Structure 1
């Protein structure tokens, strides 16, 4: 599994975190998780993931701060921002302005979510190859 693409999942809701971990591990990804924004930034520096998936509402540092940090320090790492339905007004625009590569509203369709993950990881590989 050492060749598996590394995904950092940042989510403070335990059920959502378990679902995301299950879905991604089932696809063969190496998943690391963080329950707050500060832990996410620390883990990002250690594991240098291939993809970051972050909720917007997090303790200590928000998902938007995580996105901003990732893009400032690891601009090649794609970021998917998650947000509960109804929290999107203005958040989507802010997330994209900070460099987010995709935005997914919760609750989400697992199959559609996986397609978005795979698409971003393929794009990342193409950028690295060029």
Structure 2
């Protein structure tokens, strides 16, 4: 597996972003940003570069896919699906977030004055 990754890396060359110097001055300091042009997310040249970088990453990492899958399953197996943060008291409320089995996003809650009070859901992502 190690040699596959090495061979894959040596065969494919990473894309190189063009340097287009842009000079800025703020508070008397001048700085040049060679990659300022990449801020324009809708620029076809930026999108082309991002697609090339994604293709490069995919080609280099593809020999490691089985290892990635194994590591992902191992990490997922160590996560407790039903879990909650330690409540934090702010003013009259205790705030916390919790996760439920089968859900991908947290439920943000609070309780008034006591941890034994009824739960109020603030945001159910």
TM category (shorter chain) comes to under 0.3
Query: Which structure has the greater CA radius of gyration?
Result: 2
Higher helix content, 1 or 2: 1
TM-score normalized with structure 1 length: 0.20
- Structure with higher strand content: 2
TM-score between the two structures when normalised by the length of structure 2: 0.20
Higher RCO (C-alpha 8 Å, min separation 6): 1
